[in-house]
Amino acid sequence: MPKIVQCVPNFSEGRDLDKVEKIVSVLKNKKGFKLVSYEPDSDYNRTVVTLLGDPLKIIDAVVESTGIVLELIDMNKQSGEHPRMGAVDVIPFIPITNVTMDECVIYANLIAKKINDKYDIPIFMYAEAANKKNRVKLPNIRKGEFEGMKDKIKEEKWYPDFGKPQIHPTFGVIGVGARIPLIAYNIDLDTKDIKVASNIARVIRFSSGGFRHIQAGPVYLDKRGHVQVTLNILDYKKNPIYRIFETVKMEALRYQVKVTASELVGLLPKDALIRSLRYYFKVNRLEFNKEMSLDNLTRYAIEYLKFRDFDKYKIIESNI
């Protein structure tokens, strides 16, 4: 069986669609891996790209796309709702089939070295690939963002893992990591009041007392005209989607605000969906058939978790 990893580079451009097309052009129609999706977000000014396939083929292509980004994006002129420290902000590797986490750490180090050698961009290793304890959590590294990194990187504590302690003047720095599948998940609230999203984010996220494996923050979506709680589920087995979704609904009640929908950014493993749908089936005294088709899983996810803009190709297993 071939080795399959998921690689999810995040690019700091989500508005100029011509630029986005140029960046992903070298990731499309390649042998050995699949470009599963790319989702430019104009509020975030960021595009999350999901690749699935042969790790070495993915590495070469992502190195190539980084070269295109270097020409197209100047971080001194970039802004958006999402925190960022580089034009390619992060490159995480996730083991999927026939690959261990240790191997993903090796792939992460491989691409980090290649990018630094070729473009002189400093790299920070994070999550399972972190070399220092305070670099395990990406937000620790990214704190201060592109603007603050100019000085931060000069402190010995924040010397990069690859490269000189000096940001690339237009590109910034990159975080390269290895991690278990993280679910990037947003919950829509039917209000324009950012304070409501902010209060609810505080309830669920670990850093202010909430669930242990949840990162969350508020965001206002200008185009859509409402706020959302944007969150990462770092361990969907311990903090399943349904529990977070239901807790947000419970908290929203006090503001008389409706939870209208939720959305995934990138993919999620089938197992994550099963663990949540099983809850709703049990609540409704329905028999859950864990062999159900991906089409049915998709249908029920839309029904119970109110997923919007969702189709079965958001489930990792649909793409293998």
Nearer to its own copies, 162 or 242 (CB): 242
* Part in contact with its own copies (CB under 8 A); list of ranges 133-141, 157-165, 201-209, 263-271: 201-209
CB of 72 to its own copies, least distance (A): 41
Among 154, 212, 224, 308, binds its own copies (CB under 8 A): 212
CB atoms inside a 10 Å sphere around CB 140: 15
Task: Identify residues 213-272 at the interface with its own copies (CB under 8 A).
Answer: 213, 235, 238-239, 243, 246-247, 250-251, 253-256
**Which among 186, 168, 318, 315 is positioned nearest to 263, based on CA atoms?**
186
209 is an interface residue for its own copies by CB under 8 A? yes
Mark residues 276-315: x for contact with its own copies by CB under 8 A, - for none: ---x--xx-x------------------------------
Among residues 209 and 225, whose Cβ is nearest to its own copies? Answer: 209
Asked whether position 320 contacts its own copies by CB under 8 A, the answer is no
Does residue 66 interact with its own copies by CB under 8 A? Answer: no
Which residues, at least 6 apart from 262, have a Cβ–Cβ distance to it below 8 Å? 185, 186, 187, 188, 245, 305, 306, 307, 308
From CA 117, how far away is CA 173, in angstroms rounded?
14
What is the spatial distance between Cα 10 and Cα 7, in angstroms, rounded to a whole number?
A: 10
Among 172, 177, 181, 210, binds its own copies (CB under 8 A): 210
Instruction: Please report which helix (H) or strand (E) contains residue 200, including its range.
Output: helix 194-204
Rounded to an integer, what distance in angstroms lies between the CA atom of residue 238 and that of residue 235? 6
Q: Does 193 help bind its own copies (rule: CB under 8 A)?
A: no
Nearest to 112 by CA among 49, 180, 175: 175
Q: How far is the CB of 18 from its own copies (least distance, A)?
A: 44
Tell me if 142 sits within 8 A of 84, measured CB to CB: yes
Nearer to its own copies, 194 or 283 (CB): 283
Cβ(17)–Cβ(41) under 8 Å?
A: no
Is 179 a residue that touches its own copies (CB under 8 A)? no
What are the distances in angstroms from CA 44 to CA 14, 175, 179, 219? 7, 18, 23, 9
CB of 244 to its own copies, least distance (A): 11
CB of residue 195 to its own copies, shortest distance in Å? 14
Nearer to its own copies, 55 or 210 (CB): 210
| Gap between the Cα atoms of 155 and 269, Å rounded | 39
| Residue 115 or 277 having the CB closest to its own copies | 277
CB crowding 39-52: b at 16 or more within 10 Å, else e: bbbbbbbbbbbbbb
State the minimum distance, in angstroms, from the CB of residue 150 to its own copies.
Answer: 34
Q: Note if 82 is an active site residue.
A: yes
Q: Which amino acid is at 54?
A: D
CB of 207 to its own copies, least distance (A): 9
| Closer CB to its own copies, 90 or 204, in the complex | 204
Q: Are 230 and 48 in contact (CB under 8 A)?
A: no
Q: Which residues are catalytic?
A: 82
Where along the sequence are the contacts to its own copies (CB under 8 A)? Answer: 203, 206, 208-213, 235, 238-239, 243, 246-247, 250-251, 253-256, 279, 282-283, 285
